[in-house]
Amino acid sequence: MVFYFPVIKLTKEKICAVGKGIAGKLPVFLFCVLFINGYNTWFGKENSIVGVILLMGLLMFLKADFGIDAKYSAVLVPLLFVSMGLCAKLSAWNPLVGLVVDAVFLSAALLFTRLDATHSAYLPFFMGFLMLRGYDVTGELFVKRMVSLAVIGYVVGLLHFLGSRKTCGHAQPSALLRGLSLYGPWERWALSLTVTLLVTLLFGDLLSIPKSMWVNLTVLSLMMPIEDDLVRRRRLRIPATILGCVLFIALFGWLIPPDYQTAALLLAGFLSMFITSYFIKTVYNSFSALVTATLLLPAKAAVLTRIGNNLIGAAVALLSLFLFNRIFLRLDQRRQNAA
């Protein structure tokens, strides 16, 4: 029996294209590394997740168009970042108080990003809010957290204004409220996502589920505003998460010595900048989340918690989508019958 293996021809053009791609991504990667290292030095490693969220906002909002005049969105960006930190802290006081605070913040973040054409500008605020609820700090660390959200959030807003003031629309903030309808696709998606997250956040607090933010992040990832993405992600989320867990155990449990694990993380972070596949990106996210979790939990517990919470989040998201689709279908039928 003869086996034939595919031959990959590396032409000069392909090599140059790969080289240009790496050269183009390298400055951004180095900036990200320097930003996170500098953030950890100034505001503490315990707040490193805040640095990641602020960096995410900086990269996403630099030339974002929120559908309103840039001078208004430049103010709302830091205001939401600060509100994110305060609301995440207030939510920890009491589950019922947290329910109200969560509803106010999630609704405000969705409303602000309603006219965003990319349908992704809400992610830094939602992911940041869910992660800050999961990684609470107190005392001086909380003060540093809030200072960083205010100062760096202001810088992000300023850079957003400078980078997009000529390309953004010139509408007033009131445009964000114009045309809202329970029969609109965005409004229905926003309502279903908000209600589902409120339920998972409340039950996570009441039942004291370990690292329940992973349940919420799974729901956030699966309940996307674009239907094609939604169907595809339902199918890929769980196997990608399990594969990320297997990679984590293999690499950090057996193959890579502790002295080289930091370098491996940096290399993985750089390579992640070239990922376009949702499946591979989810594998990487699961892997990196487990690395973070082992700082707080034993490696075995971190893996089991991650998989278990992803399964819960996937089940909740699918059930929520089914129920809301039924509700909206009945509303449409009643509207047609009334007409």
Res. 317 pLDDT band, cuts 50 70 90: confident
Distance of alpha carbon 102 from its chain centroid, rounded? 16
Q: What is the chain's mean pLDDT, rounded? A: 82
Per-residue pLDDT averaged across 329-339, rounded?
87
Per-residue pLDDT averaged across 12-36, rounded?
75
Q: What is the pLDDT of residues 41-99, one digit of tens each?
A: 999 988 988 998 999 899 889 888 999 999 999 999 999 999 999 999 999 888 999 99
- pLDDT of 196 > 80? The answer is yes
- pLDDT of 3 > 50? The answer is no
Q: What percent of the chain has pLDDT over 70?
A: 78
Q: What is the 3-state secondary structure (H, E, C) of the chain?
A: CCCCCCCCCCCHHHHHHHHHHHHHHHHHHHHHHHHHHHHHHHHCHHHHHHHHHHHHHHHHHCCCCCCCCHHHHHHHHHHHHHHHHHHHHHHCCCHHHHHHHHHHHHHHHHHHCCCCCCCCCCHHHHHHHHHHHHCCCCHHHHHHHHHHHHHHHHHHHHHHHHHHCCCCCCCCHHHHCCCCCCCCHHHHHHHHHHHHHHHHHHHHHHHCCCCCHHHHHHHHHHCCCCHHHHHHHHHHHHHHHHHHHHHHHHHHHHHCCHHHHHHHHHHHHHHHCCCCCHHHHHHHHHHHHHHHHCCCCCHHHHHHHHHHHHHHHHHHHHHHHHHHHHHHHHHHHHHHHHC
**Cα–Cα distance between 81 and 140 in angstroms, integer?**
19
- pLDDT of 157 > 90? The answer is yes
Q: What is the pLDDT of residues 229-286, one digit of tens each?
A: 555 665 676 677 778 777 777 776 677 776 666 566 666 666 666 677 777 877 777 6
pLDDT at 192: 94
pLDDT at 288: 67
